[in-house]
């Protein structure tokens, strides 16, 4: 009887340890998980080419955001970092939305349907790209302290290149 009690205590301890580790992992990567779920929902709800059009429009919006001659003037209107981050996100959104509408009209029926797994992979890679933009372009990490595991994934400037290419590589292999 004593061995059964010991084994139940060990199982309880193991379950508690596993739950604590899962909670810590989920807490550290919560923003990335939530963003991936939102993008996955968008992909599943938006039709066959919604996520693909969004990915392509994110790149086009980034190009316009970079070459727009008044970006820095508009962003630097305010001295507060939170307002600067907000203004840069708004400018990027303004540059991205027309491209999304245009690309969605062009690619409306041009892609076959993607499975849930393919949509999840593309949603995760796109969420990583958006997080890399938040770190390096919008400088959101100056106003919000992200957890260390996220900082290790997105803060190094050399990683921006890989997160920048990740959705394009995913599109190449997953969208036929």
Q: Give me the pLDDT at residue 139, please.
A: 81
Could you give the 3-state DSSP secondary structure of residue 118?
helix
Question: What is d(CA 96, CA 90) in angstroms, rounded to the nearest whole number?
Answer: 10
DSSP state string for 128-175: HHHHHHHHHTS-GGGTS---HHHHHHHSSHHHHHHHHHHHHHHHHHH-
Please give the span between the terminal C-alpha atoms of the chain, in angstroms, as a whole number.
60
Q: Give me the pLDDT at residue 59, please.
A: 96
Q: Give me the pLDDT at residue 169, please.
A: 95
DSSP state string for 50-101: HHHHHHHHHHHHHHHHHH-TTHHHHHTTSSSHHHHHHHHHHHHHHHHHHHHH
Given a contact cutoff of 8 angstroms between Cβ atoms, the answer to whether 64 and 76 are in contact is no
Q: Where are the domains positioned within the chain?
A: 30-174
Residue-by-residue pLDDT tens, the chain, 176 positions: 566 667 766 776 666 665 555 555 566 788 899 999 999 999 888 877 888 899 999 999 999 999 999 988 988 888 888 888 899 999 999 999 999 999 988 876 655 677 889 999 999 999 999 999 999 888 887 788 888 888 888 889 899 999 999 999 999 998 76
For 118, left (φ over 0), alpha (ψ -120 to 50), or beta? alpha
Question: What is d(CA 11, CA 46) in angstroms, rounded to the nearest whole number?
Answer: 44
Reading the block at residue 49, the tokens are 């080419």
């Amino acid at each position: 009887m004593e061995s059964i009690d010991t084994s139940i205590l060990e199982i309880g301890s193991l379950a508690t340890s596993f739950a604590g580790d899962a909670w810590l992992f989920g807490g550290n990567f919560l923003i990335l998980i939530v963003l991936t779920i939102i993008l996955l929902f968008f992909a599943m709800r938006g039709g066959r080419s919604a996520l693909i059009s969004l990915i392509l429009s994110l790149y086009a919006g980034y190009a316009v955001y970079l070459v727009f001659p008044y970006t820095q003037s508009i962003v630097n209107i305010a001295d507060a970092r939170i307002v600067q981050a907000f203004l840069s996100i708004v400018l990027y959104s303004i540059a991205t939305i027309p491209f999304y509408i245009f690309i969605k009209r062009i690619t409306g029926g041009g892609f076959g349907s993607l499975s849930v797994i393919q949509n999840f992979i593309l949603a995760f890679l796109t969420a990583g790209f958006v997080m890399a933009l938040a770190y390096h372009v919008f400088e959101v990490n100056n106003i919000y302290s992200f957890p260390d595991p996220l900082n290790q994934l997105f803060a190094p400037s050399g990683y921006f290149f890989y997160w920048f290419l990740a959705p394009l590589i995913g599109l190449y292999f997953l969208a036929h």
